Structure 1
Amino acid sequence: MSKSLQESPITTPNARATLGVGVHWRGIDPEVHLGYRKGKRGGVWLVRWRSGAGYRQAAVGTADDKGSTKGGLTYEAAGKAARQHVEAQRLQAETDAKGPALKVKGAVEVYVGARNAREGKRAGRDKRSDAGQRLGRYVLGEGERGEQDTIPGAAPLADVDLQALGESDLLAWQAGLPAAMKATTRQRLVNDLKAALNAAYATNRGKLPPTLPGTIKQGLRAAVADDTAPVARDNQILPDADIARVLRAAREVDAEQGWEGDLFRLVLVLAATGARLSQVARMHVADCQISQSRLMVPTSRKGRGAKSGTITVPVGRDVMDELVPVTAKRPPDAVLLERWRHEQAAGTIEWHRAGRGSWRSSAELARPWQAIRDCAGLPDVIPYALRHSSIVKGIRANLPIRLVAALHDTSTAMIERHYSKWITSGLEDLARSAIVPLVPQNGDAQVVRLKV
Structure 2
Amino acid sequence: MAKTLVEEQITTARARSRLDLGVHWRRLDAEAHLGYRRGKRSGKWLVRWRNHHDGANYKQAPIGVANDVNDKPAEGTLTFEQAVTQAREHVTRSRAEAAALAAGPPPTVQAAIEIYVRERNARDSRRAGREIRSDAGHRLRRYLLGQERRGRQEAVKAAPLVAVRLYALTENHLITWRESLPARLKVTTRRRLAADLKAALNAAWLRLPSEQKKLNPTFPSIVKDGLKAERIDDDDETSVARDNQILTDTQISTLLRAARQIDEEQELEGDLYRIVVCLAATGARFAQLRRMRVSDAQQIERRLMVPGSYKGRGGNSGHVPVPVGEDVIDVLLPAISGRPKEAPLFERWRYEQAGSFGWKKSERGPWRTAELTRPWQDIRKRAGLPKVIPYAFRHSSIVRGLRNLLPIQHVAKLHNTSVQMIERHYAKYIATALEDLARAAVIPLILPERPSKHFADGGVQPEALVADP
**TM-score w.r.t. length of structure 2:** 0.72
Residues 186-223 of structure 1: CA deviation (Å, up to 9, x unaligned): 11111111111111001115213221110000100011
Counterpart of 1:284 in structure 2 is 293
Counterpart of 2:140 in structure 1 is 135
Match of 1:255 among 259, 264, 286: 264
Segments of 5+ residues of structure 2 without an aligned counterpart are 1-100, 452-462
Q: Secondary structure at the match of 2:360?
A: strand
Match of 2:116 among 98, 111, 119: 111
Q: Aligned partner of 1:319: which letter? A: V
Which of the pair has the greater relative contact order for Cα pairs under 8 Å at 6+ separation? 1
Matched pairs, number:
350
Query: Are 2:338 and 1:332 aligned?
Result: no
Q: Aligned partner of 1:270: which letter? A: L
Residues 296-348 of structure 1: CA deviation (Å, up to 9, x unaligned): 00000111254331000001110011101110000111110111111224x63
Query: Are 2:429 and 1:422 aligned?
Result: yes
Contact 1:137 1:144 in 2 (8 A): no
CA distance in 2, matches of 1:244, 1:148: 40
Matches within 5 A, 1:357-376: 357-361=365-369, 363-376=370-383
| Percent identity (aligned) | 55
Match of 1:321 among 330, 337, 358: 330
Residues 147-191 of structure 1: CA deviation (Å, up to 9, x unaligned): 6677x3111011110110111111111111111111111111111
CA distance in 2, matches of 1:193, 1:338: 35
Shift of 1:353: 1.3
Identify if the C-alpha distance between structure 1 residues 146 and 125 changes in structure 2 by more than 3 Å, giving closer, same or farther. same
Identify if the C-alpha distance between structure 1 residues 272 and 332 changes in structure 2 by more than 3 Å, giving closer, same or farther. same
RMSD between superposed Cα atoms in Å: 2.0
Query: Are 2:389 and 1:378 aligned?
Result: no
Query: Are 2:438 and 1:431 aligned?
Result: yes
CA distance in 2, matches of 1:159, 1:268: 50
Counterpart of 1:350 in structure 2 is 358
Counterpart of 1:166 in structure 2 is 170
Residues 35-61 of structure 1: CA deviation (Å, up to 9, x unaligned): xxxxxxxxxxxxxxxxxxxxxxxxxxx
Q: Aligned partner of 2:177: which letter? A: W
Shift of 1:144: 4.9
Contact 2:348 2:365 in 1 (8 A): yes
Match of 1:195 among 188, 195, 199: 199
Query: Are 2:133 and 1:124 aligned?
Result: no
Q: Aligned partner of 1:427: which letter? A: L
Q: Secondary structure at the match of 2:371?
A: helix
Segments of 5+ residues of structure 1 without an aligned counterpart are 1-95
CA distance in 1, matches of 2:375, 2:162: 40
Counterpart of 2:73 in structure 1 is none
Counterpart of 2:53 in structure 1 is none
Counterpart of 1:154 in structure 2 is 158
Residues 347-395 of structure 1: CA deviation (Å, up to 9, x unaligned): 634322111111121x211111111010000011001000000000000
Shift of 1:99: 5.5
Matches within 5 A, 1:82-97: none
Counterpart of 1:230 in structure 2 is 238
Q: Secondary structure at the match of 1:340?
A: strand
Identify if the C-alpha distance between structure 1 residues 365 and 272 changes in structure 2 by more than 3 Å, giving closer, same or farther. same
Matches within 5 A, 1:59-98: none
Match of 1:204 among 201, 208, 220: 208
Q: Aligned partner of 2:418: which letter? A: S
Identify if the C-alpha distance between structure 1 residues 205 and 443 changes in structure 2 by more than 3 Å, giving closer, same or farther. farther
Shift of 1:442: 4.2
CA distance in 2, matches of 1:367, 1:159: 41
CA distance in 2, matches of 1:246, 1:166: 52
Shift of 1:441: 1.9
Counterpart of 2:311 in structure 1 is 302
Identify if the C-alpha distance between structure 1 residues 168 and 446 changes in structure 2 by more than 3 Å, giving closer, same or farther. farther
CA distance in 2, matches of 1:146, 1:220: 32
Residues 264-283 of structure 1: CA deviation (Å, up to 9, x unaligned): 11110000000000101111
Q: Secondary structure at the match of 2:402?
A: helix
Contact 2:307 2:316 in 1 (8 A): no
Q: Secondary structure at the match of 1:233?
A: helix
CA distance in 1, matches of 2:177, 2:268: 47
Identify if the C-alpha distance between structure 1 residues 315 and 102 changes in structure 2 by more than 3 Å, giving closer, same or farther. same
CA distance in 2, matches of 1:432, 1:149: 58
Mean CA deviation greater in 141-150 or 430-439: 141-150
CA distance in 2, matches of 1:145, 1:270: 35
**TM-score w.r.t. length of structure 1:** 0.74
Counterpart of 1:3 in structure 2 is none
Contact 2:449 2:465 in 1 (8 A): no
Counterpart of 1:182 in structure 2 is 186
Q: Aligned partner of 1:188: which letter? A: R
Q: Aligned partner of 2:360: which letter? A: H
CA distance in 1, matches of 2:154, 2:288: 31
Residues 69-101 of structure 1: CA deviation (Å, up to 9, x unaligned): xxxxxxxxxxxxxxxxxxxxxxxxxxx9x9611
Greater C-alpha Rg: 1
CA distance in 2, matches of 1:378, 1:99: 55
Identify if the C-alpha distance between structure 1 residues 133 and 99 changes in structure 2 by more than 3 Å, giving closer, same or farther. closer
Contact 2:242 2:395 in 1 (8 A): no
Shift of 1:427: 1.2
Counterpart of 1:266 in structure 2 is 275
Query: Are 2:393 and 1:389 aligned?
Result: no
Contact 2:449 2:466 in 1 (8 A): no
Shift of 1:146: 5.8
Counterpart of 2:416 in structure 1 is 409
